[in-house]
Amino acid sequence: MVNAMLNYGYALLEAECPRAINSVGPDPHVGFLHEMSPSKNSLAYDLQEPFRFLVDFAVLNLIETNGIDKKDFIRTENYSLRLRPSGAKKLTEEINWWFNKPL
């Protein structure tokens, strides 16, 4: 359950980083922490690292407050768990709240 939520949250973060990089203009393939490769957006992976804790907080908060239920997950044919659209919406809203939380 936690693994499915973290994977989804990190995927949201991974999708947002290239957008931020492209809006500013540096080469997304030139990274400092991750190996540079023409097929990888190394800078996007580097940019994710300082923000991963926000995804972790969002997942932990949903679990601790019972903000997500078993019905928000589906078991696949190979017995792994995936988020249903209802669970994805809850997690996305929670992550957005943590990213926009006033200091």
Model confidence at 93: pLDDT above 90: yes
pLDDT value at residue 21: 84
Residue-by-residue DSSP string for the chain: -HHHHHHHHHHHHHHHHHHHHHHH---TT--SSS---TTS-HHHHHHHGGGHHHHHHHHHHHHHTT-S-GGGEEE-TTS-EEE-HHHHHHHHHHHHHHHT---
pLDDT value at residue 64: 95
Reported as a single tens digit per residue, the pLDDT across 1-45 is 889 999 999 999 988 888 888 888 877 767 777 666 666 778 888
Model confidence at 48: pLDDT above 70: yes
Architecture of the domain delimited by 2-99? Up-down Bundle (1.20)
In this prediction, residues 62-89 reach a mean pLDDT of 93
